[in-house]
Amino acid sequence: MTYRNDVFTHKTESFDFYLEYTHGQYFIHQDVRVWNKTTFRDTLLLIESLDWMPLRVCAEPDSQLIKYSTLYGFKYSYSQTSPDGVEYHMLSRR
């Protein structure tokens, strides 16, 4: 059984952005191929257009993803341990 469900996808030459709905929450995923001002701006516009949703980012505590996510207004919300014992930090904008 899989709990993953991609509900929104946005693809550009510079990046792919998608939401995953799992365990009652919406998580952001992004694969960046080219990082520049346009990538930053377009990502911010996507996140702001979806701000009515309780968006989350899941990251390991020492991950660069935490620093990247703070650029878009995400902050630490809580920690959660996976079934295989790995601790993750959950970040949200609310």
Tell me the CATH class for 6-92.
alpha beta
The tokens of 83 are what?
A: 């079934």
Average of per-residue pLDDT values in the chain: 90
pTM reported for the whole predicted model: 0.83
CB 92 within 8 A of CB 56: yes
pLDDT digits (tens, 9 = 90+) for 37-57: 999 999 999 999 998 989 999
Residues 67, 93, 23, CA angle at the centre, nearest 5°? 100
d(C-alpha 51, C-alpha 53), whole Å: 5
CB 91 within 8 A of CB 77: yes
CB atoms within 10 A of CB 86: 10
pLDDT digits (tens, 9 = 90+) for 5-27: 767 788 999 999 999 888 888 99
The tokens of 78 are what?
A: 């809580």
The ranges assigned to domains in the chain are 6-92
